[in-house]
């Protein structure tokens, strides 16, 4: 085979990607040369053009594609997220790489860290990013921050942070990891791609060739990762159907999981806003049949209808759920149907771990200013761990499942024979404790009291956050045929089942974002 000429941009990251591709091709016995080509996107960054006016519209790819068509190069290496969703006539994406870390990272100057706040970022921080997608999601979770545009390659952006031009910046993890950049001077918050949704195909390389180059198609086929190709095809199909690009604050992230029937389950997280300063619509889909999944997602995005929602919890000022739904024009009432009363404890049992199954448990435990000594902490969910951080502690274990028995099994497996203290309510199902054969110590720190509240019968979605709220609801209310139910976890679902409510919707996570996704799926 003749020498293969790789076309690439000239940034450090692009050159890393080109050399990575060169190595893969050489393993296929190809002789390879790298050719650097300047793109409009590179020059625009030098001219300080805002990145959100360039992303996804070919500003980083057009010249490479022209070089392919003129046969100046044989293969172009792109960050897949930079490619338009439709290749020019005569060109095709023949394959994709392994997926590097798809997440975004929040890089924070140490003096700007506040672990009690969301993403460990101090109040009213100045955050650097020029991505409309990142702006929209960050402001959705932290509307107190100020966004300041950030340009330049990855090392340049880190230098600007170090100089104090920003309190924090948002970057793709893949770029930092590929270049092996030193971030030890800063605090790095690794954002979950299921919470802070990355750009379609983020972390993946695309290998573009001429359609009539059969030789290159065969070679690229040998290095192509079909499983990654399947996932990013779903992500980019959503982008294509929405005709997204330069101004669209869109995140789409897909995972696949082999289920017990040896079939793949597709899991897709979506965040889409009308503009960078608008509240995103956040969706989660899970299905075995993935062929029309992008179409279903886009139909939901285009037909979303605000509903009247009752949530059985009292939201605080910084709580996400009520605030986000109201920004999307939902009529929301958030009020707990139970009152919570502290129960003093006078003796604190000695333990190796303390496990919290709710935010109430955290609050009422620490309200008594216990002398806890040196212990580790476990939490049922991210939301509970966030409450723990407000009291100056970090969780060593955080449950990742809405099945509390499964969380209990995972936690019990981790701690082994260690003694675990479980602060909690006077009446508890003890789903986690039941997974322990010994060394589980219960400590009552609060009790729940029912409140007689009648809800508006025009309500369309009722969100139940606990079994106690289920029981309190049915003391004063009758279930209406037009109601749709959301149950926070297995225990709440079982309580509804005993009241005759079958198959309520359940969030994928025990937090406000999980509830938000669930409510939007019903709207």
pLDDT digits over 461-493, tens only?
999 999 999 999 999 999 999 999 999 988 899
Q: Is the pLDDT of residue 429 over 80?
A: no
Banded model confidence at residue 510, pLDDT cuts 50, 70, 90: confident
3-state secondary structure of 358: coil
Give the burial string for 412-446 (b: 16+ CB within 10 Å, else e): beebeeebbbbbbbeebbbbbbebbeebbbebbbb
Banded model confidence at residue 403, pLDDT cuts 50, 70, 90: confident
What DSSP state is assigned to residue 11? S
Q: Is the pLDDT of residue 395 over 90?
A: yes
Using CA atoms, how far residue 15 sits from 6, 12, 91, 223, 389, in Å, is 10, 5, 22, 19, 41
Using CA atoms, how far residue 36 sits from 14, 25, 76, 82, 128, in Å, is 9, 17, 10, 17, 29
| Both structure tokens of 3 | 């020498």
Between 264 and 213, name the one with better pLDDT.
213
Q: Per residue in 120-146, pLDDT tens? A: 999 999 999 999 999 999 999 999 999
Please report which helix (H) or strand (E) contains residue 66, including its range. Answer: helix 62-69
What DSSP state is assigned to residue 106? E
**Alpha carbons 325 and 283: distance in angstroms, whole number:** 13
Residue 484 pairs in a beta bridge with 461
Runs of H (alpha helix) within 344-466 = 359-366, 382-389, 404-415
3-state secondary structure of 474: helix
Per-residue pLDDT at 290: 74
Q: Per residue in 157-191, pLDDT tens? A: 999 999 999 999 999 999 999 999 999 999 999 99
Per-residue pLDDT at 1: 63
Closest to 408 (Cα-Cα) out of 387, 428, 388:
428
Q: Mind giving me the DSSP string for 183-224? A: -TTEEEEE--TTTSPPPTTTT-EEEEEETT-HHHHHHHHHH-
Between 404 and 59, name the one with better pLDDT.
404
Q: Per residue in 282-331, pLDDT tens? A: 999 999 877 899 999 999 999 999 999 999 998 888 889 999 999 999 99
Residues above pLDDT 90, as percent of the chain = 78
**Alpha carbons 178 and 191: distance in angstroms, whole number:** 18
Per-residue pLDDT at 245: 58
Per-residue pLDDT at 53: 45
Per-residue pLDDT at 58: 59
When the pLDDT of each residue in the chain is averaged and rounded to a whole number, the result is: 91
Per-residue pLDDT at 49: 46
End-to-end CA distance of the chain, in Å?
Answer: 56
3-state secondary structure of 47: coil
**Residue 400: which residues within 8 A CB-CB, separation 6 or more?**
407, 509
**Alpha carbons 293 and 122: distance in angstroms, whole number:** 38
- Please give the distance of CA 347 from its chain centroid, rounded to a whole number: 40
Q: Of 16-25, 253-262, 286-295, which range is least confident?
A: 253-262
Q: Of 54-58, 317-321, 348-352, 470-474, which range is least confident?
A: 54-58
How many residues belong to the chain? 523
Q: Which are the catalytic amino acids?
A: 82
3-state secondary structure of 482: coil
Q: Is the pLDDT of residue 54 over 50?
A: no
Please state at what angle helix 12-26 crosses helix 214-223, rounded to 10 degrees: 100
Q: Is the pLDDT of residue 44 over 70?
A: no
385 CB burial (10 A radius; 0-12, 13-18, 19+): buried
């Amino acid at each position: 085979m003749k020498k293969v000429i790789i076309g690439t941009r000239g940034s450090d990251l692009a050159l890393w990607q080109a050399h990575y591709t060169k190595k893969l091709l050489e393993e296929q016995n190809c002789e390879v040369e790298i050719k650097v080509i300047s793109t409009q996107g590179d020059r625009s960054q030098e001219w300080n053009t805002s990145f959100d006016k360039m992303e996804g519209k070919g500003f980083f790819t057009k010249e490479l594609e022209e070089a392919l068509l003129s046969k100046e190069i044989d293969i172009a290496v792109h960050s897949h997220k930079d490619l338009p969703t439709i290749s020019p006539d005569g060109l095709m994406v023949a394959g994709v790489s392994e997926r590097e870390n798809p997440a975004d990272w929040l890089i924070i100057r140490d003096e700007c860290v506040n672990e009690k706040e969301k993403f460990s970022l101090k109040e009213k921080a100045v955050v650097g990013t020029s991505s409309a997608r990142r702006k929209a999601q960050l402001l959705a979770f932290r509307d107190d921050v100020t966004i300041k545009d950030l340009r330049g390659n990855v090392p340049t952006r880190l230098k600007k942070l170090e100089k104090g031009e920003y309190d924090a910046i948002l970057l793709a993890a893949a770029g930092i990891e590929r270049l092996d950049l030193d971030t030890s001077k800063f605090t790095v918050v690794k954002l979950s791609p299921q919470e802070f949704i990355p750009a379609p195909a983020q972390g993946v390389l695309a290998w573009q060739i001429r359609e009539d180059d059969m030789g290159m198609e065969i070679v690229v086929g040998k290095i192509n990762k079909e499983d990654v190709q399947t996932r990013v095809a779903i992500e980019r199909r959503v982008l294509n159907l929405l005709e997204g690009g330069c101004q669209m604050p869109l995140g789409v992230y897909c995972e696949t999981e082999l289920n017990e029937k040896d079939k793949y389950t597709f899991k897709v997280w979506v965040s889409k806003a009308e503009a960078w300063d608008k509240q995103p619509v956040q969706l989660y889909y899970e299905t075995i049949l993935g062929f029309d999944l992008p179409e279903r997602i886009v139909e939901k995005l285009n037909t979303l209808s605000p509903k009247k929602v009752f949530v059985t919890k009292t939201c605080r000022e910084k709580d996400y759920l009520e605030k986000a739904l109201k920004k999307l024009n939902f009529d929301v009432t958030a009020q707990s149907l139970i009152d919570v009363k502290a129960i003093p404890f006078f003796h604190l049992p000695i333990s190796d771990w303390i496990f919290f199954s709710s935010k109430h448990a955290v609050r009422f435990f620490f309200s008594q200013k216990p002398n806890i000594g040196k212990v580790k902490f476990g939490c049922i969910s991210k939301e509970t761990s966030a409450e723990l951080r407000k009291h100056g502690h970090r969780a060593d274990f955080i449950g990742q499942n809405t099945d509390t028995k499964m969380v209990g099994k995972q936690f019990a497996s981790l701690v082994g024979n260690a003694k675990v203290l479980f602060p909690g309510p006077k009446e508890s199902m003890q789903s986690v404790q039941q997974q322990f054969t010994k060394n589980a110590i219960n400590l009552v720190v609060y009790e729940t009291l029912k409140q007689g509240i009648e809800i508006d019968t025009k309500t369309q979605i009722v969100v139940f956050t606990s079994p106690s709220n289920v029981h309190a609801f049915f003391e004063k209310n009758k279930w209406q045929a037009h109601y749709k139910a959301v149950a926070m976890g297995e225990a709440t679902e079982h309580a509804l089942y005993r009241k005759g409510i079958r198959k309520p919707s359940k969030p994928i996570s025990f937090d406000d974002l999980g509830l938000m996704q669930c409510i939007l799926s019903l709207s």
